[in-house]
A and B are shown apart, each in its own frame.
Chain A
């Protein structure tokens, strides 16, 4: 709310100052350069006053509280169940609604084959075997995918554009991304990330927030399940490697 007010107040301040300066310079002093400065201030005030409507009402602190609560609950669930397998991010076509994370409860080293849409439940069965069972959960990536205006195609350029739009334009948590695709592996490089990551069990299972979002968007783009194989932060950049399953 503070940021939104700062846009409003700055915009109004520039508007009033711009009108006063323009009128005084144009009608009283007859100074073109001062009149131009007034016009310049008026244009900036219009932009600020327009932008104030586009900025979210919810303060970042409230968003942070909601995110932390959700992540804490997820971490508790995963730790209590003693899950040590990596989550698989599945597209909306395999989860019926929106991209979700599927966590297999048992793993024999190979990736589970999910060939049909899973039911919308927490505990789901994906195969005929007695151990073919797992958790189907929503992550921040699931919600973030819904913010995309169009579904990106299965190319590295389209994924890069979608992720940059999301991270830089919508969420403001990074300065840009670079995506490369090779041999069923997608490498994502995120510039100047501004989200902290923890190292608890849920992080090892689901991945960090940036990796979660990237994996969900990539799963939706390729329309195939994805797995985060590697993620690390070094020299102000965040590197994520995804494996395309199936």
Chain B
């Protein structure tokens, strides 16, 4: 069953169109990274999925209409929207009590054992914790909830590298079991790409690219060629080109223009493009196309 199914999702704030006809299907058991520049509509899309905002179009999350059934949906969906949304006045013990009080899928023992690995005391108030500790606490709460979908919107923004790494490590090793679905957005793409099974690129309220990581590996190539070799590599019609230090980087979509990998390898180093590089390539191509149609 599809975990998320959206068709023609639209949302406008006054004259600003935040979502401009989004079609999205996410199957269960995937870890999807939604990547896009600021203002691309990522948060609005996630908010619609979580029932936090109204929308036009069709949307089903685990079979529910999120806008009408947010409270029911939250029995099976967890989310961390931004860091530091835990109420600052609450004590660690109180937040555990509260979640145990209202959430039937919450396993308090599990949350306590996550917290035992941290320096977070039960009597401390959230306002007394460091930003990293608040993120740890929130993650401990969320991981102890037996949910089917976890949505993370910039969950590590402003955290230092140690906390960020720890965050995604726990997520992958202690939480993800292959049946749950995770949808996340982050600006630190390079830190999560090894975790993802799928990527979705968004720009100006639309999904401009959607692909699984396996597909990226088999379909896209990046060549780091010496500038003088770059010319001959262009015969394979790269769809994006950029200058590195002493190297020209060319990105190829082998599904559209087949390449001779051996010849390419003779021109420089061939590898799978990183998600960040592919994102830049896809977006600049989109920009060119948009410019061309003007």
Partners in one complex: no
